Amino acid sequence: MLRIAVPNKGSLSQPATDMLAEAGYRQRRGRELVLPDPDNDVEFFFLRPRDIAVYVGSGTVDVGITGRDLLLDSGVEAVEHRPLGFARSTFRFAAPSGEVSSVEDIAGKRVATSYDVLVAGYLRERGIEAHVVHLDGAVESSVRLGIADVVADVVETGSTLRSAGLETFGEPILESEAVLIRSTTADTNNGLTVLDRRLQGVLVARGYVLVDYDVPADKLEDAVRVTPGFESPTVSPLHNGESYAVRSMVRTEATNRVMDELYEVGARAILVTSIHACRI
Ligand SMILES: Nc1ncnc2c1ncn2[C@@H]1O[C@H](COP(=O)(O)OP(=O)(O)OP(=O)(O)O)[C@@H](O)[C@H]1O
Ligand SMILES: O=P(O)(O)OC[C@H]1O[C@H](OP(=O)(O)OP(=O)(O)O)[C@H](O)[C@@H]1O
Ligand SMILES: [Mg+2]
């Protein structure tokens, strides 16, 4: 039975649970710590997001959902198996507007963060000596409150930084998102292949739509160039003998651009349908 660690709190918790439900797994009803799902031959363990890499790294849990930033900060040698497309953020340095412009300027300063291993490693690799101050959260307040000169934290919209009067500087330390991780010793036959294929199915169902349209025979090649699909579009002759019906997968965000282009090349009856579930 595959043992799966799922975040019980924070930004990762609800989207991870939603994704697993979409993939057909049993959902927890209350605050259960452990949830068996015998129909799918898996068992869920609801754990603190920060601890998930530790459990997976030790091999006591086979796989887990966590953030790439949390995995790297744990220092644990677990494997990032698949990015999951939610909880996207960057991890960046920031300081009061105009005060620090490059990473080298951090030398000798105090850097507040919840991700000390990640930050200390990043600075060490660049030969920059600074004092890392560990905080559990609300890191952006540390400069105003006088315990740090610089912060290193998760940035999504940047509004928390702005409201604290801070500005990012330097290159992003990391691009992060939720990831499925596995232990280096995980047995890939132990249900992981099925879990992974199901999660991939959710990602594709979320990221693509099905587009159907009719197109005259002499415009078919132009239309198919607009909708090349995953492998190749399905083309069926219409009964009138002059046109074709085409079906293809299109990236969700490109839907309207693709419909406009199809219309321009002469396609009509263009229909878009969302994908409920799939296996690629
Ligand atoms: N605003 C955000 N947008 C996207 N991802 C975020 C955001 N805040 C935190 N994360 C991600 O969530 C993970 C951290 O989860 P964790 O539960 O420790 O912190 P949290 O979501 O800030 O919750 P809390 O601080 O309320 O406990 C990291 O992978 C981080 O990149
Ligand atoms: O760029 P933004 O969209 O503003 O999002 C980033 C903020 O969100 C998270 O904070 P959270 O609310 O989880 O509080 P915390 O700092 O106490 O973890 C993160 O730690 C940043 O502070
Ligand atoms: Mg937080």
Q: Give the neighbor-by-neighbor strand order of the sheet with 34-37.
A: 34-37, 42-47, 2-7, 63-67, 178-182, 79-83
Indicate the average pLDDT of the chain.
96
- Considering only CA atoms, which residue is closest to atom 10 of ligand 2? 138
pLDDT range class, residue 136, cuts 50, 70, 90: very high
Protein residues within 5 Å, CB atom, of ion ligand 3: 137
Domains 2-86+177-190 and 208-274 share a fold: no
Domain ranges (residues) in the chain: 2-86+177-190, 89-175, 208-274
Strand partners, 169: 93
Q: Is 269 helix (H, G, I), strand (E, B) or coil?
A: strand
CA distances 185 to 87, 170, 238, Å, are: 27, 37, 53
CB of 89 shorter than 6 A to ligand 1: yes
Residue-wise pLDDT for 242-273, tens only, equals 999 999 999 999 999 999 999 999 999 999 99
Q: Is 22 helix (H, G, I), strand (E, B) or coil?
A: helix
CB of 11 shorter than 6 A to ligand 1: yes
Task: Give the pair of three-digit tokens for residue 47.
Answer: 């754990």
Q: Which atom of ligand 2 is nearest to the CA of 159?
A: 4
pLDDT range class, residue 162, cuts 50, 70, 90: very high
Distance 11 CA to ligand 1 centre (A): 5
Q: Which atom of ligand 2 is nearest to the CA of 153?
A: 20
CATH of 89-175, one of 3.40.50.2000, 3.40.190.10, 3.40.1160.10, 3.30.2000.10: 3.40.190.10
Query: What is the share, in percent, of the chain residues with pLDDT greater than 90?
Result: 96
* ipTM summary value: 0.96
Q: Which atom of ligand 1 is nearest to the CA of 7?
A: 17
Residue 188 reports pLDDT greater than 80 = no
- Considering only CA atoms, which residue is closest to atom 20 of ligand 1? 10
Q: Which atom of ligand 2 is nearest to the CA of 138?
A: 16
Cα separation, 139 vs 109, whole angstroms: 16
Give the residue-averaged pLDDT of 235-240: 96
Q: Which CATH class is domain 208-274?
A: alpha beta
Cα separation, 96 vs 101, whole angstroms: 10
Domain 2-86+177-190 has CATH 3.20.20.70: no
Cα separation, 166 vs 200, whole angstroms: 38
**pTM, full prediction:** 0.94
In contact, 268 and 197? CB cutoff 8 Å: no
Closest C-alpha to 195, from 86, 88, 85, 81: 81
Distance 155 CA to ligand 1 centre (A): 10
Which string of DSSP letters, residue by residue, matches 79-98?
A: EEEEE-S-S-EEEEEEEETT
Task: Give the pair of three-digit tokens for residue 74.
Answer: 């744990």
Look at residue 46 in the predicted model and tell me its pLDDT: 98
**Of 8-22, 187-201, 205-219, which gets the smallest average pLDDT?**
187-201
Residue-wise pLDDT for 112-131, tens only, equals 999 999 999 999 999 999 99
113, 154, 162, best to mutate for ligand 1 pocket (most atoms within 8 Å of CB): 154
